[in-house]
Amino acid sequence: MRSIIVSLFLLISISALAQSLKTGEKLIYKVNFQGDEYAFAAKIQQLTPEIAFGFAITSQYPVCGTVKIQSEAQQNAIKMYNQFSRDEPNILLKDAVSVFPSKVMTNALTSGKPLKMDAGNGFMNYQKGETKEMEVRYHSYRDNSVKEENTKIKATELVSEDGKNHIWITTDWGQAVIVEMDLGWTIRIESFVSEMPLDAKPQNLLGKSLSSPELAPLYYRVSNCSAIAVEDLSDPGKPYVEKEYFSPMEGIRIKTHNDTLTALLFYTEGYEHEGFTWRGYNGKFDCGINLNMSYQEVDKTIGKPSTPRWPTDVLIQYPQQKLTVYYNMPDNDKNKKAIANAKINFIEFQ
């Protein structure tokens, strides 16, 4: 089933905060489609020479993937891509745009001339309309803590010839950006999240509350771009709620009990698990390992696990690190070289 979202088009510098959009930062939108509300998140992966971003949709049918916009489309496209599904996690746009607009689209704002374009519901003429002020919530990490501030932007409208379709574009953020659309369904930007650093010792975060300052960077990194599974086993007067936040775009999954962190998982790029193709976490941990290492390299770095293991175990536990490493092991347990070179699928701290 396809989730219709929107083509947004963003390159930002938060004007009041003098901050240009950089790789690793996220744009969070609220979508209302046929009465269903959910978030659309775009995480910037690359800005030049081609634009690439990860996306996540937190609807009833969560979707995660990557979009790359070729240079020709960035210049001349008059179509918007606004359909995302699990069937197509890696999207290459040659004649359309998504999240970032083409130059000919932004030129229509300054020239005042009508532009014939397809916003996802057929070609029609669009022209410059009204200008309005919008408020965006800005989350940044400064002075060892997460800061939340509001910033105001001005957006100018492109309106269709029949007056039914509206696309709002701001030029306050360094480059024209679509911040709101009404095409019979709506999408509107709500927040901008700068890249949140994570502690290199995830085991130190275990047992802390999601509302604690120590966990705030992690929570802001995953909360608005996650599918969430909830199991409530509470008795009267005795809460017992388990939650899991699946954030394939970040390569991170967290588990909580009554909002206390109980497990933290980091996934390898391209690994398929829980119905998602994970984008991959690229950080390094204090024990010296990263997700690109092999079975043999992990053993060499932090020593062999203290628990017994068999040649083709897919998970290896290192209790001293509160760490379990899950490997992509070969089927043939006699191939010792392949076993030693088996790559990590994901790791878990618990």
For the chain, give every domain's residue range: 3-193, 202-349
Give me 184's structure tokens: 């019979």
Q: Please give the average per-residue pLDDT across 53-76, as a whole number.
A: 90
Distances (CA, A) of 49 to 24, 122, 130: 17, 29, 33
Q: Tell me how far apart the alpha carbons of residues 120 and 187 are, in angstroms, rounded to a whole number.
A: 13
Taking phi over 0 as left and psi of -120 to 50 as alpha, with beta for the rest, 73 belongs to: alpha
What is residue 110's predicted lDDT score, i.e. its pLDDT? 87
Q: Tell me how far apart the alpha carbons of residues 84 and 74 are, in angstroms, rounded to a whole number.
A: 19
Q: Please give the average per-residue pLDDT across 85-99, as a whole number.
A: 89
Q: Tell me how far apart the alpha carbons of residues 268 and 264 are, in angstroms, rounded to a whole number.
A: 14
The closest of 331, 299, 346 to 318, measured between CA atoms, is: 299
Is the distance from CB of 23 to CB of 54 less than 8 angstroms?
no
Banded pLDDT at 134 (limits 50, 70, 90): very high
Banded pLDDT at 73 (limits 50, 70, 90): very high
pLDDT at 67 over 90: yes
Q: Please name the CATH architecture into which domain 202-349 falls.
A: Sandwich (2.60)
Banded pLDDT at 251 (limits 50, 70, 90): very high
- pLDDT, one tens digit per residue, over 196-244 is 888 878 888 999 998 899 999 999 889 888 888 899 888 888 889 999 9
pLDDT at 15 over 60: no
Banded pLDDT at 14 (limits 50, 70, 90): very low
More confident: 5 or 337:
337
What is residue 3's predicted lDDT score, i.e. its pLDDT? 47
* 303 half-sphere exposure, CB direction, 13 A CA radius: 9
- pLDDT, one tens digit per residue, over 255-296 is 999 999 999 999 999 888 888 888 889 888 888 889 998 888
Three-state SS letters, 230-250: EEECCECCECCEEEEEEECCC
What is residue 181's predicted lDDT score, i.e. its pLDDT? 93
What is residue 302's predicted lDDT score, i.e. its pLDDT? 86
Q: What mean pLDDT value characterizes the chain?
A: 85
Q: Tell me how far apart the alpha carbons of residues 109 and 164 are, in angstroms, rounded to a whole number.
A: 18
Q: Tell me how far apart the alpha carbons of residues 272 and 290 are, in angstroms, rounded to a whole number.
A: 18
User: To 10 degrees, the CA torsion angle through 335, 340, 343, 348?
Assistant: 120
More confident: 80 or 306:
80
- pLDDT, one tens digit per residue, over 309-346 is 665 677 788 877 788 889 888 776 677 788 778 889 99
